[in-house]
Structure 1
Amino acid sequence: MALNSLKDVYVDQLQDIYSACKQSIEATTKLGQAASDDKLGKALAAGSAGIAEGMEKLEQIASDHGFDPNGEFCKGMEGLVKEAHAHALDEQFGSDEARDAMIITQYLRMVHYALAGYGITVVYANKLGLDGDAALLQQCYDQTQDGHESMMGIAREGVGAA
């Protein structure tokens, strides 16, 4: 698809976020299963549920505008997922605390990608006068930001404290 307008860029970025979500949901679930800290595991399970909710909102927007949310493959998230596997799931650790710290690190890298995608699409939806889209995307952004803050709190309060 040629990117000839802001609307074209907007659709492209929505497809990118959707692809990123598809790739990150499985990795997030696996990170949660690998976590030794119960609070961390629950937070990652909530993160997976949040990603699924975001995907539903993206599917709704795509349906409303008549495009396929699967029209893009996000190579950025592909790399982040590979990093999560290499550094948090496949790596050998000397302690559960070290693994949990790396799980948080890798998860937050994926979250930051999502924040950038949701944040800019909120801006573009507003510029295009797509108030309904902007509201849904803002919900996704806010939920992702809440997940970021929750994970940072777990890192500050619990990981490595033992």
Structure 2
Amino acid sequence: MAIKNLNDLYLHQLKDLYSACKQSMAVVTEMGRVAKSRELSEALIAGNQGIARGMEVLASICNRHDTDPTGEHCRGMEGLVNEARKHAIETDFGDEDTQDAAIITQYQRLTHYAIAGYGCVRTFANRLGHNDDGAELQECLDNTRNGDEHMTRIAEGGVNQAAVDGQ
């Protein structure tokens, strides 16, 4: 796809972000299954619901612009997903609480990638005068930031201390 202008870049980035979200769902599910903390596991389930909602918004916006949301493969998220599996699931942890801390770390890396993506496409939408798109993307951005902040509270509220206590 040739990117000739900001609108082309906007549509390309929407599709890339859709791919990123789709890829992240599987590993978030896997991390939720291995998390020891019930609060963490529930937060990961909620995170996946948020990712799914974001994908619905991205698909709807793409459809309004006569583009297929599935036309890209996000290599950046592919790398983050591989890292999450390696460092939060496949590593042999001697302590489950430490694994929970690793899960939060990897989830937040995935989330920060999504925050950057949503922020960029929201800004492009607004600049291009696609105000309805911009409002929907802002909501996705806000929800993603809220999920990230919730993970920080889980880490600071007990998971990290439990990992220290388990040493």
**TM interval, short-chain normalised:** over 0.9
How far does residue 161 in structure 1 lie from its aligned partner after superposition? 2.2
Matches within 5 A, 1:41-56: 41-56=41-56
Q: Give 1:34's aligned residue.
A: 34
Q: What TM-score results when the alignment is normalised by the length of structure 1?
A: 0.98
Which amino acid in the other structure matches residue 50 of structure 1?
G
Q: What is the distance in 2 between the residues matched to 1:39 and 1:102? A: 15
Q: TM-score, normalised by structure 2?
A: 0.96
Deviations 1:87-107 (A, max 9, x none): 111110011111000000000
Tell me the amino acid that sits aligned with residue 21 of structure 2.
C
Identity in percent: 51
Superposed, 1:42-121 pairs within 5 Å as 42-121=42-121
Letter aligned with residue 161 of structure 2 = A
- Count of residue correspondences: 162
Deviations 1:48-69 (A, max 9, x none): 0000000000110011110000
Distance 1:161 1:144 in 2: 25
Residue in structure 2 matched with residue 143 of structure 1 by the alignment: 143
Structure 1 stretches of at least 4 aligned residues deviating more than 6 Å after TM superposition? none
Give ranges in structure 1 of 5+ residues lacking alignment.
Answer: none
| 1:72-99 superposed Cα distances (whole Å, 9 cap, x missing partner) | 1000000000001101111100111110
Aligned-partner Cα distance in 2 for 1:63–1:9 = 16
| Counterpart in the other structure of 1:3 | 3
1:61 partner letter: I
Query: What amino acid sits opposite 1:41 in the alignment?
Result: S
> Is 1:20 equivalent to 2:20 in the alignment?
yes
| Matched letter for residue 97 of structure 1 | D
- Mapped to 2, the partners of 1:113 and 1:160 lie a distance apart of 23
- d(CA) in 1 for partners of 2:129, 2:154: 38
Amino acid aligned to 2:99 = R
Post-superposition offset of 1:158: 1.0
Q: Residue 161 of structure 2 aligns to a residue in which SS? A: coil
Paired amino acid for 2:37: D
How many angstroms apart in 1 are the aligned matches of 2:62 and 2:11?
A: 8
- Letter of the structure 2 residue corresponding to residue 67 of structure 1: T
The residue type paired with residue 123 of structure 1 is T
